[in-house]
Amino acid sequence: MEREPDHAASIQILQDLLEDPEARMTAASLLEPVYIRRSAWKELVGIDSLRLKYKRRSGTASDWTKRIAQVYEEADRDSGRSLSNW
């Protein structure tokens, strides 16, 4: 069986699961490589923001704050424009 990492229906299901409090961290982990491969920086910041909210509750938010800043920097290098222009 051939793997299809950008299967649109599967990605949509995972994106829908981001709304489910019990499934959102798993969905975010599965979507992360998809968003990186696609250079979908806005979406990557979105899932990192969810992770940040989750980690803030447990007191370990600094790693995700740094990651979000790195994604903004990478997006600026890739596109020559900031995420705020999307």
Q: How far is Cα 50 from Cα 35, in angstroms, rounded to an integer?
A: 15
Task: Express each pLDDT in 24-80 by its tens digit.
Answer: 999 999 999 999 999 999 999 999 888 888 776 655 667 777 878 888 888 877 765
Structural domain of 25: 8-85
Question: In this structure, is residue 64 part of a structural domain?
Answer: yes
Q: What is the pTM of this model?
A: 0.67
pLDDT of residue 45: 92
Closest CA to 44 of 19, 15, 3, 23: 15
Q: Are 78 and 42 in contact, with CB atoms under 8 Å apart?
A: no
**Is it the case that residue 86 has pLDDT exceeding 50?**
no
Question: In this structure, is residue 1 part of a structural domain?
Answer: no
Q: How far is Cα 16 from Cα 12, in angstroms, rounded to an integer?
A: 6
Determine the Cα angle at 54 with ends 53 and 59, to 5°: 90
- How many domains, in total, are found in the chain? 1
Question: In this structure, is residue 61 part of a structural domain?
Answer: yes
pLDDT of residue 60: 62
Task: Express each pLDDT in 5-15 by its tens digit.
Answer: 778 999 999 99
